[in-house]
Amino acid sequence: MFSKQKFDEYRDKYKRFIKSSSSYDESYKWTALGAYEEHWNIAATDFATMYDQAIQQGEGERLWSEKNDSAKSVMIEFAKLSPEIIRDMFEDLYRESSDIVLRMDRFVHHCDQMVNELQSVRPSANVHYHDNYEMISLYLAMKQPNEYALYNYYEFKSLMSKLGAKTTPGLKEIDRFFKVMKTMYKFLIQDEELVEAYKARLEKQGTSPDLNLFLAHDFCSCCTNTGYMVERY
């Protein structure tokens, strides 16, 4: 999967980084999770408005887009056009009895169909921004943060390279990504000093949630974000 020795080296760098760096800022993910938990209601009569409130604005926009024409804006158009179909799409995505890759692929397929329908009212519609799994992973991570993490292929590929993985992950090896995040989380929470420093940093930034796979994603982000320069620690 990856080199445990390399992982331990980066874990220690990450621990020193979060204890001392003033540039560390990943708290927006936790804020977005709070908004989702407060507003998500799949049975809501006005699905589009509920979705808009649950997929947070402000700093949370980093998780989906900063463009006016984005995954979020298009999904809102879908929900206004065919709310029951969109409700069914999310119910299927969240149905744990089905294979995760199949669920995500079905979601993309339905988005493809919805774009065609949307073109009847907005002819310029031609993309839905859910193809690369990133936005769908956000839906999953917000719903079940103990099982899923936020996916970015290039970030994941970079991390696997840094940690000495024998094989490069494929573009849509999403099941591999979730397994790796769970494994990393298990290793990270074994380090009590790191957990204490991580919680202290979150509290300093105004939040104190129960830990979940967001910790593994923060580790991944910090190790691969060149702006953080974790290698120096």
Q: Where in the chain are the domains?
A: 4-31+146-232, 35-143
Per-residue pLDDT tens over the stretch 163-208: 999 999 998 899 999 999 999 999 999 999 999 999 998 888 777 7
Q: Rg of the chain's alpha carbons, rounded to an integer?
A: 18
Two tokens, residue 113: 């169909």
Q: Please, are residues 207 and 27 in contact by the beta-carbon 8 Å criterion?
A: yes
d(CA 135, CA 144): 14
| Cα separation, 191 vs 148, whole angstroms | 21
Share of the chain above pLDDT 70, in %: 94
Q: Residue 70 — very low, low, confident or very high, per pLDDT cuts 50/70/90?
A: confident
Confidence check: pLDDT of 104 > 80: yes
pLDDT band for position 65 (cuts 50, 70, 90): low
* pLDDT at position 53: 92
> Which tokens sit at 50?
């509920």
pTM: 0.92
For residue 201, the one-letter residue type is: R
Ordered DSSP codes for 70-116: SHHHHHHHHHHH-HHHHHHHHHHHT-TTS-HHHHHHHHHHHHHHHHH
**Residue listed under structure tokens 């090896």:** 173
Which three-class secondary structure state does DSSP give residue 135?
helix
DSSP SS3 for 141: helix
Secondary structure of residue 192 in the 3-state scheme? helix
User: Of the given ranges (90-104, 125-139, 172-186, 202-216), which has the lowest mean pLDDT?
Assistant: 202-216
The whole-number average pLDDT for the span 34-57 is: 91
Neighbours of 21 (CB within 10 A): 16
